[in-house]
Structure 1
Amino acid sequence: MIKNNDKISANQVAIILFTTMVGAGILSLPADVSKEVGPNGLIAILGGGIASLFFARLILYLSSKFPTETFVEYAGKLITRPISIVISAVLVFYFVMFVSLDARIFGEVLKIYLLPSTPIEIIILTMLFSSAYLVRYGLEPIARMSEILFPIMVIPLVLLFLPALTDVDLSNFLPFMRVSLIKFFKGMLMTTYSFVGFEILYLLFPYVIDRDKLKRSVNSAMFSTMLFYMYITFFVIGIFGYKETREQLWPFLTLIKSINFPVFFIENVEGIIMGIWTFTIFTTIYSFHYFATLILSKLLKAREHSYFVLPAVPIIYLISLIPDSIVTVYKYAGYVSQYMSVFFIAILPILLYIILKVKRLGGKDEEKT
């Protein structure tokens, strides 16, 4: 049974997708693609975005065949109940891992740039309890929060980079495509972590009111995210060059510190940017937090997902503290994105699509997704 506070619109789906995907990835994405494809980072992001759109639409198509069910229910019809339970449990772990890693990255960044005297444990717990407070109220309040934070996240970042346009050297994007196909596709794969988030489409479909607009919403969310990443990467590589960019851990933050903002009445622009980035990481954390507890409630046939929201906090917190350094955090994130993300983003939807066609299950997708 779906409650009233769990009904959202297709437009809200687009915003949730965008705010879920845009998170910790913007800090390191320019460095990641520069390491693999050099000056061709923009092309790699474009290719990764188009590939992500294809798989997002495929997941949406699968969900449209079972419009009243989430992945937990319809997967049992496609791949048998025992296998679907195992995959759903792994999906919970997958979401929890991303919440944990993002919370740790958030803690590390804030401790370095804003709160050097505050224990990282306190920073992480504050974020997790803030997330839990929102998540326990359901999907519709989450959607409304994302609608509020969306313009705060996007508009200032877009405008604040414009003063640096005169510092961009277009020769930093040369030579063009002098890279092997293998390295180029590896560079596209490196963008996977930054586009992680659209897997929530496995679970969203039954909660949408105007499902006939979902196709357009997914398209707009994926293209907006791709253009946003390309915008930031354009400035980072265009100013620093790919050789310098690939040597930095967080080139996005380095760029912020190097820009001479013509806003003399604002004393600490870095603090404002960090505040905006806090919103971007918050939206990612509460989204994954919600869908992890939603899957648990479906698996255990609980009446409310809220039963699992607070119990999940100490688990997420302990996992976030396992890495001994920020380097280890990104190593774990690489493992998750290269293996688990690829499975849930690409391999699983393809397998489910093939099984769907072979078994000829599912109703007519009246939403024409």
Structure 2
Amino acid sequence: MKDNPRQITEIQAAIIVISTIIGVGVLPLPLFASRAGGTGGPMVTAVAVVTALVSLLLITKLGQRFPKQTIVQYSEELIGKWPARLGTVCIIVFFGVLTAMTAREFGEVVITSVLKKTPLDVTVIVMLLLAALSTRNSLATFAYIHQFYFPLILFPAMVIIALSLKNANLLYLQPVWGESTAGMLHGILIIAALFQGSFVMTLVIPAMRSPGKAMRASFWGIAISGGLYLLIVIATLAVFGPEETNKLLWPTLELAKVTSLPANILERLDAAFLAIWVTAVFTTLLSAHYFTIHALSQLFRLNDHKLFSMMLLPYVFVMAMYPKNVLQMYEIISMVGRIGLVLTFVYPLFLLLVAIFRKKGGGKTDDRNRTTDRKGAEPTPSVSSQPVK
């Protein structure tokens, strides 16, 4: 973090988490919830949000024990060089696949709903190029990009959800518990996997001005993004009902189609919603690709991550084009998401237990005693108080 000495604020950290989570998964989210729990879809989503919150707080707690290092660096200190590198490689591959599947899902939605005559590979490579070029910036610029797009993602989405509720039928949300408990457990894992982009917090904590406030930033990041996801599921199920929702590939997009502004200023909001969604996909891709290339640069002990921003692009593109159709794409996304839960929850939990057992890290993260100025100056050494005559 030589080029970014403690520049990210608590609010920026929370915004990074929010805009990373809110992304391509917004469209099929009600379908996942409805298939898992029927009328209990909101319950499934709420439990998944709590699961994601516990996972992120665990990751944040681990990062606070090593406030000057990322997970790539302190994992080697905890479990040894080669086991840690193996874990890092698995995480890098996972986020590379996550980037590819996000780009592919974006392409499928665009050629189905908007640009029907545009080849799929063109839409995928354009979004990947845009994300790759943006990852060449510093971590501070990365935070500013998220901060700039955050209002354009959150507030219009809230307006669309609020307007859609005028067509709601609360009977579609009863019973609250749903039908199949086993199906609900499976759905919780699938929806919790949509929050795995919050793992980028391991990269953000070492660049925060106050790493001690990272826990609060993580909490609000999950609370706001998870609250939006819960409202989307409630609104979609209340408008269409579980049976109709199960027949829709992207229920949230259909919800925007049947929503209109007062006085029929706009009879359909799907065009406006897609504009918001494209922005959300970009910020998600940006975070996933940025984490991947940063982890690679730290794995190979390089000072600059820009080398990998374009180098990885062909491999990510090939992975994105591997699924033969939409159904196979969602099968891969579901499988990768379940595997990712091991890497983003079990692996950090193991590292935290090792850190506690070996009494590693755990230093104070309050940076009042080690504040650096904006030019990167060293902390002012404390001087013993002497009486001045």
TM-score, normalisation: structure 2: 0.90
Query: Does the CA-based 8 Å contact 1:2-1:207 persist in structure 2?
Result: no
Write the deviation string for residues 168-204 of structure 1: whole angstroms up to 9, x where unpaired: 1111111221545433322211212321211112222
Structure richer in helix, relative to its length? 1
Q: Percent identity?
A: 26
Determine the structure 1 residue equivalent to 2:365.
366
Question: Is residue 113 of structure 1 aligned with residue 113 of structure 2?
Answer: yes
State how far apart, in whole Å, the 1-side matches of 2:214 and 2:139 are. Answer: 16
Higher relative contact order (CA 8 A, sep 6+): 1
TM-superposed deviation, 1:206:
0.9
Question: Is residue 49 of structure 1 aligned with residue 49 of structure 2?
Answer: yes
Write the deviation string for residues 296-316 of structure 1: whole angstroms up to 9, x where unpaired: 000111120011101111111
Distance 1:327 1:170, change over 3 A: same
Write the deviation string for residues 61-114 of structure 1: whole angstroms up to 9, x where unpaired: 111111111111110121111011111011111111111001011111111111
- Unaligned 5+ segments in structure 1 are none
Higher mean C-alpha displacement, 101-110 vs 268-277: 268-277
TM-superposed deviation, 1:350:
1.9
Write the deviation string for residues 137-176 of structure 1: whole angstroms up to 9, x where unpaired: 1221121111111111111121123232221111111122
- Unaligned 5+ segments in structure 2 are 368-389
Higher mean C-alpha displacement, 28-37 vs 343-352: 343-352
Distance 1:93 1:6, change over 3 A: farther
Q: Tell me the amino acid that sits aligned with residue 132 of structure 1.
A: A
Write the deviation string for residues 235-282 of structure 1: whole angstroms up to 9, x where unpaired: 100011112112221101111112233364558732221111000000
Determine the structure 1 residue equivalent to 2:200.
200
Determine the structure 1 residue equivalent to 2:258.
258
Matches for 1:1-369 after TM superposition, within 5 Å: 1-4=1-4, 7-262=7-262, 264-266=264-266, 269-339=269-339, 341-367=340-366
What is the alpha-carbon root mean square deviation over aligned residues?
1.8
Distance 1:175 1:267, change over 3 A: closer
Query: Does the CA-based 8 Å contact 2:30-2:251 persist in structure 1?
Result: yes
State how far apart, in whole Å, the 1-side matches of 2:263 and 2:5 are. Answer: 42
Q: Tell me the amino acid that sits aligned with residue 355 of structure 2.
A: L
Q: Tell me the amino acid that sits aligned with residue 31 of structure 2.
A: A
State how far apart, in whole Å, the 1-side matches of 2:164 and 2:270 are. Answer: 15
State how far apart, in whole Å, the 2-side matches of 1:325 and 1:180 are. Answer: 29
Q: Tell me the amino acid that sits aligned with residue 343 of structure 1.
A: V
